[in-house]
Chains A and B, each alone.
Chain A
Amino acid sequence: MPDQLLFALEVTANGLMAGVMYSLVALGFVLIFKASGIFNYSQGVLALFAALTLVGIQEGQVPFAHLINAVTGLHVTEFGWKVPALLAILLTALVMVGLAIIIEKLVLKHLVNQEPIILFMATIGMAYFLEGFGDVMWGADIKTLDVGLPQGINETLESVTDKALGYGFFVDNLDIVATVVAVMLVTALTLFSQYSKQGRALRAVADDHQAALSVGISLRFIWVLVWSIAGFVALVAGIMWGSKSGVQFSLSLIALKALPVLMLGGFTSIPGAIVGGLIIGVGEKLFEFFAGPLIGGATENWFAYVLALVFLVFRPQGLFGEKIIERV
């Protein structure tokens, strides 16, 4: 096979993996949008917050150390113990559930029946708050996150492709793990929403708030549930992205990358989030590969948005979104 084609294939494979990472963030969006009609901008910051908390717990950092030091003049930094990765993940998941309860109690409860744009703005406000809160709690420096996931080039794949095609593919182990985790997560979520009692209630709420209320489903419980699940998805996304590129502020910006994924797939479709993620991942990598050198590179910054924009002009509800029916 010609080299160019092999390169393109490798780029496609890496694009698919990157797409899975986008899908992980987009999943959280879809869950919340389906259940409450809230367009949750803070999903990316939730991922950042989860990753920060995980590192903090793992390393035994004292929360609010910086603030305590500034107010009292002490110099506390660490408790001096290390928490095993699995326990730390469990504790972080608990923190995310707690956060979901607090968000429901303090914010969402008061904003029932507001217009979507107001709710959207409120989640941006929450994103600002959480970003500052995470930094105050755990410090703003870039942290490395290591929960024992394999990293680096996958040697098996490289040697196999080297033998078969005469060119070894470079695929990161972490991306493969992310793919497996994403598949498991989607399967689990689908099973949960199709077969469990809470899952059914969740779908009922998504379908019609008032009808769900009238058959005795607690809206508030469902919201806490959905935000907890979104928090958990954010934790998974935070672990993956944090292991890949370190825990830092730019992690919260992946939320913006997840938006075109959502638009392509449709705001209300879980499979859509996955397929959209893959299309965006492959599309932007291939575009950068073929057109990037001609027009100055760094096209990944905008390609996804423009692709989504052009796509939506032809299909306004996205790939798998519910058909938009309007009447006067």
Chain B
Amino acid sequence: MFYREAGDFKTSYRLDSQTFPIKFDRLRFYAVLAIAYGVIPFFVNDYWASAVLVPFLIYSIAAIGLNVLVGYAGQVSLGTGGFMAVGAYAVYKLMTAFPEVSVFIHVLLAGGITAVVGVLFGLPSLRIKGFYLAVATLAAQFFLVWLFNKVPWFYNYSASGQINAPDRTVFGVFVTGAQTSATAKYLFCLVMLTIVALIARNLTRGTIGRKWMAIRDMDIAAEIIGVNPLTTKISAFAVSSFFVGIAGALFFAVYLGAAEVGEAFGIQKSFLILFMVIIGGLGSIFGSFAGAAFLVLLPVLLKNVLVGTLGWPTDLAAHIELMIVGALIVIFLIAEPHGLAQLWRVAKEKLRLWPFPH
């Protein structure tokens, strides 16, 4: 009754091709936007921003990026951490080299630089497929991290080898550096996420998204019906790296403030984001959000329960947390291999029939 494709008549092409053609989806989208922009900023404090909200927003961007590559184009990548590092170091170099330009532009440019690097490492995907490709992308991960560690130009010859985000403003409000308020961090990331999510949503339902999916489902068949594998695979790598680069830039500049490449963008990060994509659901924008939320909230929750409530030592709690996360991932894959997005699809099916299920 609530969720219906039928009966929602469109009278113009513009209405017919809007981002959310179904009324329920559209209302839900506006409601989420209203809450995210109109309610949460007034209640956000430092703990919530740094422990939950900002990481959630940034990981969502990264998960959307990876989902474009793995979920839509079917090219498994384990190099996400390395690409995030490219974004972070690109934004750092830009911020220190051109302090007068808005950081907003810098973050977008950092995404663009990452896209170029992503295309470079995506080229072998034309020859290498499946798990061979997954392992090949590890080359990107390890080589990039090594590069940022070893070439002093990237960290401006600082003695510690770390990069530190300088203070920068957008419209006179600090968004990076030590003086940034929780609300500013939250809103800056939220704006980026909104842009990224809208781009991703519209790309994936258009021509290019259909080409990606054709390549994913069977690349040879897609090639025969006229999908060019070169441009399709490369565009997937470019778009995915663009988003991941933005996420990396935000992760360093807004969230961490100071970063050491091996620690912040190691192989663990690649796996974490791949988990988000898988748990959320391959080939679903909503799934990227759900997966990011799940894996950001879970450790916070476990830590609060184990250390806060039960009073166990932190190292023991960290190990138990690893066990629980691992076990949950396995349980999840067994119970719902299509991820959290599938739960939403089931819910929609129920809404369609409610209140008269057959």
A-side residues, CB < 8 A to B, are 39, 66-67, 70, 106-107, 110-111, 114-118, 120-122, 124-133, 135-136, 140, 256, 259-260, 262-263, 267, 295-299, 301-302, 305-306, 308-309, 312-313, 316-318, 324, 326-328
Contact = CB atoms under 8 A, between A and B. Distances in A.
Contacts of B320: 67, 132, 136
B48 interface: no
B165 interface: no
Interface residues of B, number: 51
Interface in B66-85: 70, 76
B146 interface: yes
Contacts of B263: none
B167 interface: no
B274 A121 contact: yes
A121 B282 CA distance: 12
Interface in B118-140: 124, 127-132, 134-136, 138-139
Interface of B: 70, 76, 124, 127-132, 134-136, 138-139, 141-143, 145-146, 149-151, 218, 220-221, 224, 267, 271, 274-275, 278, 282, 312-313, 315-316, 319-330, 333-334, 337
Contact of A306 (B76, B143, B329): B143
8 contacts: A70-B316, A107-B330, A125-B325, A136-B316, A267-B132, A308-B135, A312-B127, A316-B128
A132 B326 CA distance: 8
Given A117-B76, A121-B333, A305-B139, A129 B220 contact: no
Contacts of A130: 326
B135 A260 contact: yes
Contact of B151 (A118, A296, A302, A313): A296
B323 A256 contact: no
A298 B150 contact: yes
A263 B127 CA distance: 14
Nearest to B149: A298
A259 B186 CA distance: 39
Which secondary structure dominates chain A's binding surface? helix
B319 A140 contact: yes
A-B pairs with lowest CB-CB distance, top 9: A128-B326, A129-B326, A132-B322, A125-B329, A132-B323, A305-B139, A302-B142, A296-B150, A125-B330
Nearest to B143: A302
Contacts of A260: 135, 138
Contacts of A118: 278, 333, 337
A267 B327 CA distance: 27
A54 B333 CA distance: 31
Contact of A312 (B124, B278, B313): B124
Contacts of B70: 117
Main SS at interface, chain B: helix
A326 B131 contact: no
Contacts of B321: 132
Contacts of B333: 111, 114, 118, 121-122, 125
Contacts of B139: 302, 305-306, 308-309
B319 A328 contact: no
A129 B330 contact: yes
A298 B329 contact: no
A121 B330 CA distance: 8
Given A110-B334, A326-B220, 4 more contacts: A117-B282, A301-B146, A302-B146, A305-B135
Contacts of A67: 316, 320
Contacts of B221: 328
A318 B131 CA distance: 12
B326 A299 contact: no
A309 B329 contact: no
A324 B221 CA distance: 16
A256 B267 contact: yes
A267 B319 contact: no
Nearest to A261: B135
B275 A316 contact: no
Nearest to B328: A125
Contact of A309 (B124, B145, B274, B328): B124
Contacts of A135: 319, 322
A121 B275 contact: yes
A169 to B, nearest CB: 29
Contacts of B325: 125, 128, 132
Nearest to B152: A296
A107 B329 CA distance: 11
B124 A107 contact: no
Contacts of A136: 316, 319-320, 323
Nearest to B321: A132
Nearest to B151: A296
A295 B275 CA distance: 34
Contacts of B329: 121-122, 124-125, 128
Contacts of B267: 256
A309 B315 CA distance: 38
B128 A126 contact: no
Nearest to A321: B132
